[in-house]
A and B are shown apart, each in its own frame.
Chain A
């Protein structure tokens, strides 16, 4: 069938700069560039271009420009080019449209409608460069009360295990399988160097990484239970039960057979070339009671030494679900907003299911406080955290820490071309092709990740200092430091914040 799809990108070559070195031919895994029969000219088939910009960055002569294809249909605000293209694609192939990364739709971004406070006169700001500023965060259950021995001031209360992270930012679950070994290793290396943790996603933790990186690995136990063995659970610093994911709430995952290489098949324990199917539900969890059973099964299997997280997608009834999760015994709850990323999801799920992370954190924090169980469980916000200001806003709305996934991938090289599901990532991140994966040097990539964490941490300290806050704990759920702009009453109510210009309430008698 002839394809009626328009090209997505156009490749322009500045002929005067090009010396036909052929780097572009080597770098492009999509087949845009090729030598002609005589090996003299480089041909360009821009219809295959996905806009990953690999060739542009690596062209030694800066001779290439890759830009969106300008030609389009008659402008139409309703039947947009994307809508038309999707229909044509499905008419030609008859399937569910797959896509990578988080939703790119122009829903309102609440982070961008929230402003932070700063101290002026009455509460002096703090200079983080000269004064101590505490970002260290403890993830896990806190006791109902602390008993202290009055003689030696030792804490008598038994404290359940907590994770200690040096900045309230961890790396979100991205499985070995979805991402390459090198990308996976880079996340582990950066976590260890900076003093934070990374989540393995549901693809297991390769045996050769367990000894060195187990202590920084939050190992996931998802519906497919891939790579879950007693050693995997016991070598980790925490365990995460994955119920749902922001990019695809309520559905399972299919790692396509093409990506199931030898090493992946070994880690996941499935034959090479087989689809790795994660069922939509855990088949042993049909209720909060059942969830409690798995939480405690994991605690039993690890001698009650590790905190157990439960990760859910932010959906309409998230607050009540979160309350159930805390009551089921989780030490931390991870909430993944509808902007959350993915290696592959049906586009229709990614773009139409779930709620924004900002609202989800606010309502969950509020609900748990009202029920007096907020201290039982840490809240980790995930799904579309783009910068340090998003981190600060998420924490002020009620989170203990955040997970970053997409931002970490971008730090390593990702350009958000959204073709993760093809396994042809030209940046060596989302691929199992050995030649492509080699492009990512774990030493360099982990350095980029550490730099990002350092930069964000410094910025967070600056923002906290400006607010007159010297410990991240004092920011958590501190919504008095947030003001909404361009939001309606119901939005302010859900977020639990005042509008810009509204001062502190008078609380006199």
Chain B
């Protein structure tokens, strides 16, 4: 018979309540040997029982943490994760704040709608794919294909802040939002195809980036006062999140390149009618 790795053997919420310590609106969940769905079932149950803060301990690869927490009317929850959350952390996230004390895997903030994700460590590939709003802070570095097709509309401006560096295809097809790579401790970024197919949004990259590392649809423009002001705010927030207060000037004391799309319609000329 066909096995379902996601659903087979999933226990009911009642059976799982033993994994939770509930205290004054804070639920502490021991995620050890919980399956993806079990952990998310429990998280939802805790919020429905009034928890506004969830502390997840011993997290080890559980996927979709936070994705289930969509409520109408909306509720905002603070989630602290100890360990390593699995793929799609905060996918479709509806306004919650997630703090990871550890590294994250692939797909952090996939199609995230609103909220905040703070990772005290590194993250894998496809971070912030199709992100629509909110903020993501990654203290260290990220993998390939991050910020692909980020979007933005009016006051919904998603922001991805990466402390060190990223791999290839950063901001591919980017349609809106902001990506900031601070380049802390990085002499030269080694990623290529940055912003290929970019047609909206903006990227700020601290440290050395050569023209041949950029996609053809990207242009480099001078930073103006407003850009520096924005960066200062971002760096301040970054330092506050990761308890690095006092390092702001050091982080900002290097060259930053501002990347914007050359055209809103990069492929408008390839067709005949």
Contact = CB atoms under 8 A, between A and B. Distances in A.
Given A93-B273, A283-B126, A284-B126, A300 B40 contact: yes
A269 B87 contact: no
B267 A297 contact: no
Nearest to A145: B1
Interface string B1-32: 11011100000000000000000000000000
A224 B149 contact: yes
Contact of B111 (A228, A329, A422): A228
Interface stretch (B60-68, B187-195, B207-215, B227-235): B60-68
Given A293-B63, A297-B67, A329-B4, A94 B272 contact: yes
Nearest to A254: B267
A230 B70 contact: yes
A327 B4 CA distance: 8
A contact residues, range: 35 or more
B188 to A, nearest CB: 25
B270 interface: yes
A97 interface: yes
A231 B71 CA distance: 9
Interface in A189-234: 221, 223-226, 228-231, 233-234
A301 B70 contact: yes
Interface in B178-214: 197, 199-200
Given A225-B149, A293-B107, A277 B68 contact: no
B27 to A, nearest CB: 18
Interface in A161-191: none
Contact of A275 (B92, B149, B151, B264): B264
B267 A231 contact: no
Interface string B38-80: 0010001000000000000000000110011010100000000
Given A269-B152, A270-B151, A329-B4, A234 B70 contact: yes
B64 A284 contact: no
A269 B145 contact: no
Contacts of B70: 230-231, 234, 301-303
Contacts of A225: 111, 129-130, 149, 151
A250 interface: no
B238 to A, nearest CB: 25
B102 to A, nearest CB: 20
Contacts of B173: 277, 279
B64 A300 contact: yes
B148 A277 contact: no
A300 B111 contact: no
Interface in A485-506: none
A297 B200 contact: no
Given A230-B70, A273-B264, A95 B149 contact: no
A303 B40 CA distance: 9
Chain B interface secondary structure, helix, strand, loop or mixed? loop
Contacts of A283: 126, 129, 145, 148-149, 172
Nearest to B125: A284
Interface in B91-143: 91-94, 106-107, 110-111, 113, 126, 129-130, 132
Interface in A85-139: 89-90, 92-98
A491 to B, nearest CB: 31
Contacts of B268: 256-257, 275
Contacts of A273: 264-265
Nearest to B94: A230
A468 B145 CA distance: 56
B177 to A, nearest CB: 10
A376 interface: yes
Interface in A281-301: 283-284, 292-293, 296-297, 300-301
A144 B68 CA distance: 27
Contacts of A221: 111
A89 B68 contact: no
Nearest to A284: B126
A271 interface: yes
B267 A230 contact: no
A271 B153 contact: yes
Given A274-B264, A283-B126, 5 more contacts: A228-B132, A275-B267, A277-B173, A277-B267, A300-B63
25 contacts: A97-B272, A225-B151, A228-B92, A229-B92, A230-B113, A234-B72, A257-B264, A268-B151, A269-B152, A269-B176, A270-B151, A270-B153, A270-B176, A271-B175, A271-B264, A274-B200, A275-B264, A276-B175, A283-B172, A297-B67, A300-B40, A300-B63, A301-B70, A303-B44, A303-B70
